[in-house]
């Protein structure tokens, strides 16, 4: 008997799943975490999610499901954080492959449930965009969550939908979510973040970084993404709520539309029709733009001077914190520079590191 956690959007949701499992169950048998390999362009230069064919050394769990062990490798030029997660965390990470649509994801889930006979199944989303209707102006990345929700609702097994850090993904305001959130399952503490603290020193997820920061007591307004979205860091940030699965499906028009899809292309088509866009199209356009940009060098003196200008503008907008991903993009640096930038900033101004976020000082020091 084991536990199965489905990371609704992949990436940071998988890290949050590991943190929640450790918080609720300690060192009991570790959960299997089913997750997308979708790390966005900072890590993976190829738009969209990766499938099993994009990796070497995957281990079969069932005919349709592969585990991503520490020695797995994405086939260049693809990139993925999953092998490193597998190396640093004790959980089993299974690859959720969306290329056969909701029917394919449902088949993977059914095989896992039959094979593992899990004592519990949780569908976890950080932020709450899995509860989007599809027409919200702040919604940016509904596809992965809607596809996962559509598949999970068709699996004949008891399952909880959990939303961690409501509002922290910058997609839906917390005021839009409060009426849907059900019972409080857990409130993360600073101690709960310890199992994933080393991961968040390198993992690019912004929502899970903010989830962890709020668990450690950080409060304020965090600016994220290339669109400079302001996200409030409040006492609601470290909470985890259960949500009625059927109610979520009833709200999510895109999830209902993709229930019978058999290809990722079909899912994208529905996303364009209902939401007005596909986030993979956005990645395609951004990847083409990045490809045409001349290579940049990280020059410490120049970067620190530009950082001061960025911070001055951020202060004027009422921003108290930001992510290293956002700083990287705001300073027009390549994603490959993110870790070097992080080290430069922390070494230069350690007092501004509110791990894993960067604190914007109230006035120049």
Q: What is the C-alpha to C-alpha distance for residues 321 and 231, in angstroms, rounded to an integer? A: 9
Q: What is the C-alpha to C-alpha distance for residues 129 and 271, in angstroms, rounded to an integer? A: 14
pTM of the model: 0.96
Predicted local distance difference test score (pLDDT) of residue 226: 79
Strand partners, 65: 62
CB 206 within 8 A of CB 328: no
* Ranges of the chain with pLDDT below 70: 1, 363-365
Q: Output 43-47 pairs: Cβ under 8 A, ≥24 positions apart.
A: 43/79, 43/80, 43/81, 43/204, 43/335, 44/74, 44/78, 44/79, 44/80, 45/77, 45/78, 45/79, 45/287, 45/290, 46/77, 46/78, 46/79, 46/287, 47/280, 47/283, 47/284, 47/286, 47/287
Break the chain into its structural domains and give their ranges: 3-257, 300-359
CB 145 within 8 A of CB 125: yes
* 3-class DSSP assignment, residue 21: helix
Predicted local distance difference test score (pLDDT) of residue 1: 66
Taking the chain, what is the end-to-end CA distance rounded to the nearest angstrom? Answer: 55
**DSSP H or E stretch at residue 315:** helix 300-316
* 3-class DSSP assignment, residue 272: helix
């Amino acid at each position: 008997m084991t536990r199965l956690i489905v990371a609704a959007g992949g990436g940071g949701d998988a890290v949050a799943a590991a943190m929640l499992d450790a918080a609720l169950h300690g060192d009991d048998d570790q959960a299997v975490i089913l997750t997308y390999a979708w790390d966005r362009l900072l890590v993976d230069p190829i738009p969209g999610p990766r499938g099993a064919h994009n990796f070497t050394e995957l281990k079969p769990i069932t005919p349709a499901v592969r585990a991503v062990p520490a020695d797995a490798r994405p086939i260049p030029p693809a990139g993925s954080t999953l092998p490193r997660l597998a190396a640093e965390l004790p959980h089993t990470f299974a690859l959720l492959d969306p290329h056969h649509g909701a029917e394919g994801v449902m088949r993977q889930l059914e095989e896992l449930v039959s094979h593992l006979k899990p004592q519990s199944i949780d569908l976890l989303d950080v932020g709450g965009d899995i509860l989007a209707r599809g027409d919200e102006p702040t919604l940016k990345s509904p596809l992965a969550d809607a596809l996962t929700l559509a598949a999970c609702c068709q699996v004949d097994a008891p399952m909880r939908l959990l939303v961690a850090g409501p509002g922290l993904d910058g997609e839906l305001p917390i005021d839009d979510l409060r009426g849907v959130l059900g019972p409080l399952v857990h409130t993360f503490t600073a101690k709960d973040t310890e199992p994933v603290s080393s991961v968040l020193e390198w993992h690019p997820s912004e929502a899970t970084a903010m989830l962890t920061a709020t668990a450690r007591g950080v409060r304020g307004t965090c600016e994220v993404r290339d669109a400079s979205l302001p996200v409030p860091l409040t006492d609601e940030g470290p909470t985890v709520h259960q949500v009625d699965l059927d109610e979520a499906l009833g709200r999510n028009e895109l999830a209902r539309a993709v229930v019978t899809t058999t290809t990722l292309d079909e899912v994208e088509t529905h996303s364009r029709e209902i939401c007005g866009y596909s986030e993979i199209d956005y990645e395609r356009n951004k990847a083409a733009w990045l490809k045409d940009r001349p290579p940049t060098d990280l020059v410490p003196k120049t970067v620190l001077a530009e950082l001061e200008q960025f911070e001055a503008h951020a202060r004027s907008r009422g921003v108290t914190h930001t992510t290293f991903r956002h700083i990287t993009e705001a300073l027009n640096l390549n994603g490959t520079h993110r870790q070097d930038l992080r080290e430069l900033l922390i070494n230069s101004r350690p007092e501004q590191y509110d791990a894993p976020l960067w604190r914007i000082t109230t006035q120049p020091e």
